[in-house]
Structure 1
């Protein structure tokens, strides 16, 4: 999904600062990670809405798109998951 991203300069790289998603503006609260390819860049960011996003920048086309989204609620559920061994151990006690 293509999105409009406002960027700011960080060193010699433009990084996401704010973006529009379905008409709503989401401020980038934290840049969690970023990685580069030959002609693209991925930025993993935490939004002001508590959600986690992975934004992909296509350097050849100068276009941003949303590659992944995880709501704050989905992140909380994932954080509560335990390994199967721990779950079984808890049931046996």
Structure 2
């Protein structure tokens, strides 16, 4: 799914997602739960202010963002 991601720009450029837009809906990143690297992508598992978990993928070749996973949590105790 195509999304827009606003990041904290550290020394590596677009490093850490701060908020995402899905259409006109803005979601603030409450917490980055995990991050990992693959040969051509960087992944971020985030907890949004809408009480959902997202996995975002950033291409190091095209500099595009994708959402690869979404789960709406029922309550705050569901957060891993």
TM-score class, shorter: 0.7 to 0.9
SS of aligned partner of 1:2: coil
Question: Whose radius of gyration is greater, 1 or 2?
Answer: 1
Q: Give the number of the structure with larger relative contact order, counting CA–CA contacts within 8 Å between residues 6 or more apart.
A: 2
Q: Select the structure that is richer in helix.
A: 1
SS of aligned partner of 1:38: coil
2:50 pairs with 1:49 = yes
CA distance in structure 2 between the aligned counterparts of 1:70 and 1:10, rounded to whole angstroms? 28
CA distance in structure 1 between the aligned counterparts of 2:39 and 2:76, rounded to whole angstroms? 30
- TM-score, normalised via structure 2 length: 0.84
Please identify, of 7-16 and 44-53, the stretch whose mean Cα deviation from structure 2 is larger: 7-16
- How many residues of Structure 1 are paired with residues of Structure 2 in the alignment? 77
